[in-house]
Amino acid sequence: MKRKIIYIILVILFAIIVAIFTNSCALQTNEKETAAGAELQKVVQEAEQNLNQETSDTGIVSSNEGDDSKAGTFQGTEPTVKESAETGSNQPAVQKKYVTITVSCLSIYDNLDAFDKAKLEILPGNGLIIPSTKVEIREGETVFDVLLKVTKDKRIHMEYVSTPLYKSNYIEGIGNIYEIDAGPLSGWMYKVNNWFPNYGCGRYVLKDGDNIEWAYTCDLGRDIGGDWNEQNK
């Protein structure tokens, strides 16, 4: 009986000791948390003071929470670079360049007797294989580049022979109308701004606003105003 009483007393004492130790740890934890909170609050206050000091020095107006006002700049200063309305970037908008191109075989109607009879049905009624068409160009593009681009876009037949070494592109046929279809002096010629160049279309570099005309000649250019001898007198 005495042993049982002693055992109970020991258990009660152990429970009291555990309770005291637990309360002591909790007290220390609360004290640490309180100290940490105070330290954090102190850091935040110092940061706010530094921010207010910098704002005062730079002239930038800081906005408080709930305030709809936006940060401003010193009066009299303006941005030195304006953004493009189209691109949204600081780079200036690139100016697009365009040319016009026409492909005509009107001269054949004045030489129907010499024209290949098997191809009469493919002649366009108004003499225009490609009416005046506006085409965007890139830097360095040539008369040949534009002809190739527009015939592909409109799915019109075009056949040529290229000699890359000399940057030469000889046009043999457009719209299934070939050289010599209207006699031994017939074929395709081009002019830019009413001038017939004496070199290949692959070497003529275009500029913005140029007007390209491809015309079929039945008399080596004389019937369409492209006599080189007359032109270069």
Mean pLDDT of 22-51: 52
Same domain, 74 and 102: no
Mean pLDDT of 22-41: 52
- Please tell me the predicted confidence (pLDDT) of residue 93: 75
Same domain, 69 and 101: no
pLDDT at 51 over 50: no
What percent of the chain is predicted at pLDDT more than 90?
54
pLDDT tens readout for residues 193-211: 999 999 999 999 999 999 9
- Please tell me the predicted confidence (pLDDT) of residue 62: 36
Same domain, 29 and 103: no
Tokens 């046009």 -> residue: 171
Residue at 87 is within a domain: no
Residue 209, domain extent: 97-231
What global pTM score does this model have?
A: 0.60
Residue at 90 is within a domain: no
Same domain, 146 and 181: yes
pLDDT at 126 over 50: yes
Q: Residue 187's closest CA among 201, 199, 200, 170? A: 170
Same domain, 23 and 109: no
Residue at 84 is within a domain: no
Say how far residue 218 (Cα) sits from the centre of its chain. 44
- Please tell me the predicted confidence (pLDDT) of residue 144: 97
Same domain, 131 and 199: yes
What are the phi and psi torsion angles at 169 (to 5°)? -135, 105
pLDDT at 61 over 60: no
- Please tell me the predicted confidence (pLDDT) of residue 66: 39
Same domain, 188 and 129: yes
Residue at 180 is within a domain: yes
Residue 217 belongs to domain with CATH number:
2.170.130.30
Domain count, the chain: 2
Same domain, 225 and 173: yes
